[in-house]
């Protein structure tokens, strides 16, 4: 199951009981907003020991609707690419340094 923002705030509150919940919410909102702003400007975002976010352009293409078999024109669009850090990869795969 995925962790949602409210669960993240609860976990932060457990880890940092001296902080007010409204302050933790504000910090999380600021971090997410800054990531969004950077990606919208075509800038990469690197979070050390976690990963990097970059935007990429997905070319326009003609695809097929699987339900009807009809061809559909998909316009060019920007997508987000994420690459995990080596440290996160090792942690996920239980590898020792």
| Residue 68 pLDDT greater than 90, yes or no | yes
Sheet order of strands, 51-58 included: 45-47, 51-58, 77-84
Q: Output phi, psi for 33, to 5 deg.
A: -65, -40
Mind listing the pLDDT tens digit for each residue in 78-97? 999 999 999 999 999 987 65
Mind listing the pLDDT tens digit for each residue in 12-57? 999 999 999 999 999 999 999 999 999 999 999 999 999 999 999 9
52: alpha, beta or left? (left if phi > 0; alpha if psi -120 to 50): beta
């Amino acid at each position: 199951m995925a962790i949602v923002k409210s669960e993240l705030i609860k976990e932060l509150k457990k880890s940092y009981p001296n902080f007010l919940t409204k302050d933790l919410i504000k910090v999380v909102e600021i971090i997410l907003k800054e990531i969004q702003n950077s990606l919208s400007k075509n800038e990469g975002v690197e979070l050390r020991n976690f990963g990097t976010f970059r935007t990429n352009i997905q070319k326009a293409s003609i695809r097929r609707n699987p339900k009807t078999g009809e061809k559909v024109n998909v316009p060019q669009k920007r997508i987000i690419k994420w690459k995990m850090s080596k440290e996160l990869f090792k942690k996920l795969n239980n590898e020792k340094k």
